[in-house]
Amino acid sequence: MIEVKDIHKSFGDHHILKGVSATFHKGQTSMIIGSSGSGKTVFLKCLLGLFAPEQGDICYDDRYYSKMTLSEKRELRKEIGMVFQGGALFDSETIEDNIKFPLKMFTDQTGEEMKERVNFVLNRVHLENVNDKFPAELSGGMQKRVAIARAIVMNPKYLFCDEPNSGLDPQTAIVIDNLIQEITEEYQMITIINSHDMNSVMEIGEKIIFLKQGLKEWEGSYKTIFKTDNKAVTDFVYCSNLYKKVREVYNKS
């Protein structure tokens, strides 16, 4: 379990996270939603250990970040898989080398062991015969699968994804969502996704946290988001006519 306890993060006098608490469980896919600038990426970067909150703490399976030594923090980093916005693949490296990157950085595996692991994760994200290709030779959806393969190559306990669907068509986006959810259940990871994509939220948001101006304004699931009368949430979710109609139909059924 990850327990986020009342974290605050500022840049200069710009107070971004103003006391956010949340709990995330194994095998569950959680979504962080909110308007642009509400603090979603800063929140994820605090979880990743890239930003240190000035106040509050984060507990990863009974380990408090504030009490960890540097080597324990390095161990924790190995347990985290990250899918960056846009995929963040290295353009000049082959797909195989992109996926090997964390293995080279954090393990003593031999070339053969690394190759075996790369092939395993590529197979898991349903990609074949792409080892020697470069990112630009793959479609956007395939690149996202490679980014997921790289994120899970170390067999992480925690998977964090910053807008994994950005730039994808709705059909491919759903395939990527389902893949992340399947992998989360299969490997019993704790998965946290920042998203703007309401389709994703409705599809896989077992837990949804709505951030507004650095505060947790609402928490629920794809089952309860249709029922809420929290104005900030409804203004955000139902700004499109499509979702207004969906809500009407859902609430009548």
Ligand X SMILES: Nc1ncnc2c1ncn2[C@@H]1O[C@H](COP(=O)(O)OP(=O)(O)OP(=O)(O)O)[C@@H](O)[C@H]1O
DSSP class of 49: T
- In angstroms, the CA 172 to CA 29 distance is 18
For 160, half-sphere exposure in the C-beta direction (CA atoms, 13 angstrom radius) is: 20
| Cα–Cα nearest to 82, from 20, 173, 158, 24 | 158
Contact between 98 and ligand X (CB under 6 A)? no
41 versus 98: smaller Cβ distance to ligand X = 41
The interface region with ligand X, picked from 30-38, 72-80, 92-100, 145-153 by CB under 6 A, is 30-38
What does 120-180 look like in DSSP terms, one character per residue? HHHHHTT--S-TT--GGGS-HHHHHHHHHHHHHTT--SEEEEESTTTT--HHHHHHHHHHH
Contact between 36 and ligand X (CB under 6 A)? yes
- In angstroms, the CA 92 to CA 83 distance is 19
What does 137-149 look like in DSSP terms, one character per residue? GS-HHHHHHHHHH
* CB 126, min distance to ligand X, A: 28
Contact between 29 and ligand X (CB under 6 A)? no
* CB 108, min distance to ligand X, A: 34
Among 24, 34, 184, 202, interactor with ligand X by CB under 6 A: 34
* CB 117, min distance to ligand X, A: 32
Contact between 39 and ligand X (CB under 6 A)? yes
* CB 240, min distance to ligand X, A: 17
Beta-carbon neighbour count of residue 208 at 10 Å? 24
45 versus 63: smaller Cβ distance to ligand X = 45
Contact between 41 and ligand X (CB under 6 A)? yes
Q: CA separation (Å) from 60 to 119, 215, 225?
A: 29, 21, 27
Q: Are 114 and 104 in contact (CB under 8 A)?
A: yes
Contact between 111 and ligand X (CB under 6 A)? no
Pairing verdict, β 29-33 and 14-24: unpaired
- Mark residues 217-236: x for contact with ligand X by CB under 6 A, - for none: --------------------
21 versus 155: smaller Cβ distance to ligand X = 21
* CB 31, min distance to ligand X, A: 13
Contact between 42 and ligand X (CB under 6 A)? yes
**Contact residues for ligand X, defined by CB under 6 A:** 11, 16, 34, 36-42
